[in-house]
Amino acid sequence: MTKSVEKNKAETTKEFVFNSKDFDRVRDLIYKKAGISLADSKQEMVYSRLARRLRATGVSSFSVYLDCLERESIGTEWEAFTNALTTNLTSFFREEHHFPILTEHVKNRKEKINVWCSASSTGEEPYSIAIALCETFGTLTPPVHIVATDIDTSVLATASQGVYNIDRLDKMSPERIRRFFLRGRGAQEGLVRVRPELRDLISFKQLNLLADVWSVNGEFDAIFCRNVMIYFDKLTQGKILKKFAPLMKPNGLLFAGHSENFLYVSDDFKLKGKTVYELASLHEIRKKATSNHSNKVDP
Protein backbone atom coordinates (compact mmCIF):
# COMPACT_ATOMS: atom_id res chain seq x y z
CA MET A 1 0.00 0.00 0.00
CA THR A 2 1.47 3.38 -0.98
CA LYS A 3 1.81 6.25 1.47
CA SER A 4 -0.79 8.35 -0.35
CA VAL A 5 -3.33 5.50 -0.17
CA GLU A 6 -2.55 4.98 3.53
CA LYS A 7 -3.02 8.71 4.16
CA ASN A 8 -6.37 8.77 2.33
CA LYS A 9 -7.56 5.70 4.25
CA ALA A 10 -6.59 7.32 7.58
CA GLU A 11 -8.45 10.51 6.67
CA THR A 12 -11.63 8.62 5.80
CA THR A 13 -11.68 7.00 9.24
CA LYS A 14 -11.66 10.36 11.02
CA GLU A 15 -14.84 11.85 12.43
CA PHE A 16 -14.27 15.13 10.58
CA VAL A 17 -12.56 15.90 7.31
CA PHE A 18 -9.34 17.80 8.02
CA ASN A 19 -7.09 18.55 5.08
CA SER A 20 -3.96 20.62 4.51
CA LYS A 21 -6.03 23.67 3.60
CA ASP A 22 -7.83 23.50 6.96
CA PHE A 23 -4.50 23.09 8.75
CA ASP A 24 -3.03 26.10 6.96
CA ARG A 25 -6.05 28.19 8.00
CA VAL A 26 -5.62 27.10 11.62
CA ARG A 27 -1.92 27.99 11.51
CA ASP A 28 -2.68 31.41 10.08
CA LEU A 29 -5.39 32.13 12.67
CA ILE A 30 -3.37 31.06 15.75
CA TYR A 31 -0.32 32.95 14.51
CA LYS A 32 -2.31 36.16 14.12
CA LYS A 33 -4.12 35.65 17.44
CA ALA A 34 -1.32 34.38 19.69
CA GLY A 35 1.91 34.49 17.69
CA ILE A 36 2.22 30.70 17.81
CA SER A 37 4.02 29.11 14.85
CA LEU A 38 2.75 25.57 14.29
CA ALA A 39 5.15 23.17 12.57
CA ASP A 40 3.98 20.81 9.82
CA SER A 41 4.33 17.95 12.31
CA LYS A 42 1.55 19.39 14.48
CA GLN A 43 -1.31 18.58 12.09
CA GLU A 44 -2.52 15.51 14.02
CA MET A 45 -2.29 17.38 17.33
CA VAL A 46 -4.35 20.23 15.89
CA TYR A 47 -7.00 17.83 14.60
CA SER A 48 -7.26 16.06 17.95
CA ARG A 49 -7.64 19.23 19.99
CA LEU A 50 -9.96 21.13 17.67
CA ALA A 51 -12.19 18.12 16.95
CA ARG A 52 -13.33 18.51 20.57
CA ARG A 53 -14.33 22.10 19.82
CA LEU A 54 -16.37 20.99 16.79
CA ARG A 55 -18.25 18.51 18.99
CA ALA A 56 -18.76 21.10 21.73
CA THR A 57 -20.15 23.72 19.34
CA GLY A 58 -22.13 21.30 17.21
CA VAL A 59 -20.36 22.40 14.03
CA SER A 60 -20.22 19.78 11.29
CA SER A 61 -16.86 20.51 9.66
CA PHE A 62 -13.56 22.28 10.13
CA SER A 63 -14.21 24.60 7.22
CA VAL A 64 -17.50 25.77 8.77
CA TYR A 65 -15.89 26.09 12.22
CA LEU A 66 -13.05 28.23 10.86
CA ASP A 67 -15.50 30.33 8.82
CA CYS A 68 -17.41 31.04 12.02
CA LEU A 69 -14.23 31.97 13.86
CA GLU A 70 -13.24 34.41 11.14
CA ARG A 71 -16.68 35.98 11.32
CA GLU A 72 -16.52 35.85 15.15
CA SER A 73 -19.98 34.34 15.14
CA ILE A 74 -19.43 31.72 17.89
CA GLY A 75 -19.27 34.16 20.79
CA THR A 76 -16.41 33.27 23.11
CA GLU A 77 -15.06 30.50 20.88
CA TRP A 78 -11.91 32.45 20.07
CA GLU A 79 -10.90 31.97 23.69
CA ALA A 80 -11.60 28.23 23.56
CA PHE A 81 -9.78 27.94 20.22
CA THR A 82 -6.68 29.60 21.67
CA ASN A 83 -6.84 27.55 24.88
CA ALA A 84 -7.05 24.33 22.85
CA LEU A 85 -3.86 25.06 20.91
CA THR A 86 -1.63 26.29 23.73
CA THR A 87 0.67 23.81 25.43
CA ASN A 88 0.87 23.95 29.22
CA LEU A 89 3.68 21.66 30.34
CA THR A 90 4.96 22.80 33.73
CA SER A 91 6.02 21.63 37.18
CA PHE A 92 7.10 23.00 40.55
CA PHE A 93 10.69 24.31 40.54
CA ARG A 94 11.20 23.46 36.90
CA GLU A 95 14.72 24.48 35.79
CA GLU A 96 15.65 24.76 39.44
CA HIS A 97 18.96 26.57 38.88
CA HIS A 98 17.05 29.81 38.26
CA PHE A 99 15.64 30.13 41.77
CA PRO A 100 18.92 30.60 43.69
CA ILE A 101 19.88 33.24 41.11
CA LEU A 102 16.61 35.07 41.74
CA THR A 103 16.89 34.92 45.53
CA GLU A 104 20.52 36.05 45.51
CA HIS A 105 19.50 38.94 43.27
CA VAL A 106 16.86 40.29 45.68
CA LYS A 107 17.83 39.06 49.15
CA ASN A 108 19.19 42.38 50.46
CA ARG A 109 16.49 44.61 48.97
CA LYS A 110 14.67 46.96 51.30
CA GLU A 111 11.97 48.05 48.85
CA LYS A 112 9.12 45.87 47.58
CA ILE A 113 10.15 43.22 45.06
CA ASN A 114 8.12 42.88 41.88
CA VAL A 115 8.27 39.78 39.67
CA TRP A 116 6.34 39.03 36.49
CA CYS A 117 5.71 35.41 35.51
CA SER A 118 4.54 35.91 31.93
CA ALA A 119 3.54 32.32 31.09
CA SER A 120 2.21 31.02 34.38
CA SER A 121 0.18 28.08 33.02
CA THR A 122 -1.48 26.16 35.89
CA GLY A 123 0.44 28.07 38.55
CA GLU A 124 3.38 25.87 39.48
CA GLU A 125 5.91 28.46 38.31
CA PRO A 126 4.57 31.54 40.15
CA TYR A 127 4.01 29.49 43.32
CA SER A 128 7.60 28.21 43.07
CA ILE A 129 8.79 31.83 42.82
CA ALA A 130 6.71 32.72 45.86
CA ILE A 131 8.05 29.78 47.87
CA ALA A 132 11.66 30.64 47.00
CA LEU A 133 11.19 34.25 48.08
CA CYS A 134 9.39 33.30 51.30
CA GLU A 135 12.33 31.08 52.18
CA THR A 136 14.77 33.87 51.37
CA PHE A 137 13.08 36.33 53.72
CA GLY A 138 12.16 33.72 56.33
CA THR A 139 8.46 34.62 56.35
CA LEU A 140 5.19 33.79 54.61
CA THR A 141 4.62 37.52 54.12
CA PRO A 142 7.76 38.82 52.39
CA PRO A 143 7.80 42.25 50.64
CA VAL A 144 6.96 40.62 47.32
CA HIS A 145 4.33 40.99 44.61
CA ILE A 146 4.16 38.50 41.75
CA VAL A 147 2.10 39.14 38.63
CA ALA A 148 1.23 35.85 36.93
CA THR A 149 -0.24 35.99 33.43
CA ASP A 150 -1.16 33.56 30.66
CA ILE A 151 -3.17 33.69 27.47
CA ASP A 152 -5.09 30.54 28.46
CA THR A 153 -7.98 31.39 30.79
CA SER A 154 -8.66 27.76 31.72
CA VAL A 155 -5.17 27.19 33.16
CA LEU A 156 -5.36 30.53 34.96
CA ALA A 157 -8.49 29.33 36.73
CA THR A 158 -6.59 26.25 37.93
CA ALA A 159 -3.66 28.42 39.01
CA SER A 160 -5.88 30.77 40.96
CA GLN A 161 -7.41 27.87 42.92
CA GLY A 162 -3.97 26.55 43.85
CA VAL A 163 -5.16 22.94 44.29
CA TYR A 164 -2.91 20.12 43.05
CA ASN A 165 -2.55 16.38 43.19
CA ILE A 166 -0.01 15.47 45.86
CA ASP A 167 2.01 13.67 43.18
CA ARG A 168 2.86 17.07 41.65
CA LEU A 169 4.99 17.73 44.74
CA ASP A 170 7.02 14.53 44.58
CA LYS A 171 10.33 16.37 44.12
CA MET A 172 9.67 18.71 47.03
CA SER A 173 10.99 18.09 50.52
CA PRO A 174 8.49 17.08 53.26
CA GLU A 175 9.46 20.20 55.22
CA ARG A 176 8.68 22.47 52.25
CA ILE A 177 5.36 20.73 51.70
CA ARG A 178 4.36 21.13 55.37
CA ARG A 179 5.23 24.82 55.35
CA PHE A 180 3.57 25.90 52.12
CA PHE A 181 0.68 23.48 51.47
CA LEU A 182 -2.45 22.26 53.23
CA ARG A 183 -3.31 18.57 52.79
CA GLY A 184 -6.83 17.57 51.83
CA ARG A 185 -8.86 15.21 54.01
CA GLY A 186 -11.79 12.93 53.36
CA ALA A 187 -13.06 13.44 49.82
CA GLN A 188 -10.04 15.71 49.20
CA GLU A 189 -7.51 13.05 50.20
CA GLY A 190 -4.55 13.06 47.81
CA LEU A 191 -4.91 16.76 47.04
CA VAL A 192 -3.06 19.76 48.43
CA ARG A 193 -3.84 23.48 48.41
CA VAL A 194 -1.25 26.24 48.59
CA ARG A 195 -1.42 28.22 51.82
CA PRO A 196 -3.51 31.42 51.56
CA GLU A 197 -0.46 33.53 52.50
CA LEU A 198 1.30 32.22 49.41
CA ARG A 199 -1.73 32.85 47.22
CA ASP A 200 -1.96 36.42 48.51
CA LEU A 201 1.47 37.22 47.05
CA ILE A 202 0.24 36.59 43.50
CA SER A 203 -2.12 38.42 41.14
CA PHE A 204 -3.38 36.20 38.30
CA LYS A 205 -4.62 37.82 35.10
CA GLN A 206 -5.14 36.95 31.45
CA LEU A 207 -2.64 38.50 29.05
CA ASN A 208 -1.74 37.90 25.42
CA LEU A 209 1.94 38.69 24.81
CA LEU A 210 0.96 39.70 21.27
CA ALA A 211 -1.48 42.36 22.46
CA ASP A 212 -0.64 45.96 21.57
CA VAL A 213 -1.10 47.01 25.21
CA TRP A 214 -0.18 44.89 28.22
CA SER A 215 -2.14 45.16 31.46
CA VAL A 216 1.01 45.05 33.61
CA ASN A 217 3.05 47.85 35.10
CA GLY A 218 6.81 47.80 35.76
CA GLU A 219 9.35 48.18 37.11
CA PHE A 220 10.12 44.51 37.64
CA ASP A 221 13.11 43.08 39.47
CA ALA A 222 12.70 39.94 37.39
CA ILE A 223 10.63 38.66 34.49
CA PHE A 224 10.16 34.94 33.93
CA CYS A 225 9.41 34.14 30.30
CA ARG A 226 10.34 30.48 30.17
CA ASN A 227 9.45 27.88 27.55
CA VAL A 228 6.99 30.09 25.71
CA MET A 229 9.22 31.92 23.20
CA ILE A 230 9.94 28.58 21.46
CA TYR A 231 6.41 28.76 20.04
CA PHE A 232 7.07 32.16 18.41
CA ASP A 233 9.11 33.02 15.34
CA LYS A 234 12.17 35.29 15.65
CA LEU A 235 10.30 38.42 14.60
CA THR A 236 7.65 37.91 17.29
CA GLN A 237 10.30 37.10 19.90
CA GLY A 238 12.10 40.34 19.12
CA LYS A 239 8.93 42.42 19.48
CA ILE A 240 8.14 40.86 22.87
CA LEU A 241 11.69 41.36 24.18
CA LYS A 242 11.62 45.00 23.12
CA LYS A 243 8.45 45.49 25.17
CA PHE A 244 9.96 43.71 28.17
CA ALA A 245 12.95 46.06 28.39
CA PRO A 246 11.21 49.27 29.59
CA LEU A 247 9.24 47.29 32.20
CA MET A 248 12.39 46.19 34.02
CA LYS A 249 14.44 47.87 36.68
CA PRO A 250 17.90 48.86 35.40
CA ASN A 251 19.43 45.78 37.04
CA GLY A 252 16.47 43.48 36.41
CA LEU A 253 16.86 39.88 35.27
CA LEU A 254 15.06 38.03 32.47
CA PHE A 255 14.78 34.25 32.87
CA ALA A 256 14.40 32.13 29.73
CA GLY A 257 13.75 28.43 29.13
CA HIS A 258 16.57 25.93 28.68
CA SER A 259 16.01 25.64 24.91
CA GLU A 260 15.60 29.38 24.27
CA ASN A 261 18.35 31.70 23.06
CA PHE A 262 17.79 35.45 22.69
CA LEU A 263 21.35 36.41 21.71
CA TYR A 264 20.57 36.85 18.02
CA VAL A 265 17.00 38.04 18.52
CA SER A 266 17.28 41.29 20.49
CA ASP A 267 19.79 44.07 21.11
CA ASP A 268 18.00 44.95 24.33
CA PHE A 269 19.35 42.02 26.35
CA LYS A 270 22.70 40.32 26.90
CA LEU A 271 23.40 36.93 28.43
CA LYS A 272 24.38 37.11 32.12
CA GLY A 273 24.40 33.41 32.98
CA LYS A 274 22.81 30.12 31.98
CA THR A 275 19.52 31.20 30.31
CA VAL A 276 19.53 34.40 32.41
CA TYR A 277 19.66 37.79 30.70
CA GLU A 278 20.16 41.39 31.80
CA LEU A 279 19.52 44.67 30.05
CA ALA A 280 22.18 45.41 27.44
CA SER A 281 22.78 48.88 28.95
CA LEU A 282 23.79 47.36 32.31
CA HIS A 283 25.85 44.70 30.56
CA GLU A 284 27.88 47.35 28.75
CA ILE A 285 28.43 49.32 31.98
CA ARG A 286 29.76 46.20 33.71
CA LYS A 287 31.90 45.30 30.71
CA LYS A 288 33.42 48.79 30.63
CA ALA A 289 34.07 48.77 34.38
CA THR A 290 35.81 45.40 34.15
CA SER A 291 37.91 46.61 31.23
CA ASN A 292 38.95 49.80 33.05
CA HIS A 293 39.90 47.80 36.13
CA SER A 294 42.03 45.33 34.16
CA ASN A 295 43.81 48.17 32.30
CA LYS A 296 44.59 50.11 35.45
CA VAL A 297 48.33 50.43 36.15
CA ASP A 298 49.46 50.46 39.78
CA PRO A 299 51.72 53.42 40.68
Q: What is the pLDDT of residue 287?
A: 60
User: Dihedrals φ, ψ of 76, to 5°?
Assistant: -90, 20
Is the pLDDT at 285 greater than 90, yes or no? no
Cis peptide before 219 (omega within 30 of 0): yes
Q: What is the pLDDT of residue 113?
A: 96
- Apex 112 CA angle, 108 and 118, nearest 5: 105
When pLDDT is cut at 50, 70 and 90, the band that residue 171 belongs to is confident
Q: Using CA of residue 169, residue 174, residue 178, residue 183, what is the dihedral sign?
A: positive
Annotated active-site residue 179? The verdict is: no
Q: What is the pLDDT of residue 223?
A: 98
Which member of 25, 49, 168, 193 is catalytic?
A: 49
Distance (Å, rounded) from C-alpha 114 to C-alpha 200? 14
Q: What is the pLDDT of residue 97?
A: 94
High-pLDDT (> 70) share of the chain, %: 88
What is the chain's mean pLDDT, rounded? 86
Domain 3-85: top CATH class: mainly alpha
Using alpha carbons, list the distances in angstroms from residue 173 to 63, 92, 181, 218: 51, 12, 12, 33
Annotated active-site residue 49? The verdict is: yes
Give domain limits for the chain. Answer: 3-85, 98-286
Quick one: average pLDDT of 157-185? Answer: 93
Contact indicator for 204, 148 with CB cutoff of 8 Å: yes
Superfamily of domain 98-286: Vaccinia Virus protein VP39 (3.40.50.150)
Q: Which H/E stretch holds residue 20?
A: helix 20-34
Which member of 150, 152, 221, 268 is catalytic?
A: 150
Each residue's pLDDT tens digit, 79-135: 788 878 876 667 899 999 999 999 999 998 889 999 999 999 999 999 999 999 999
Q: Which residue has the higher pLDDT, 48 or 6?
A: 48
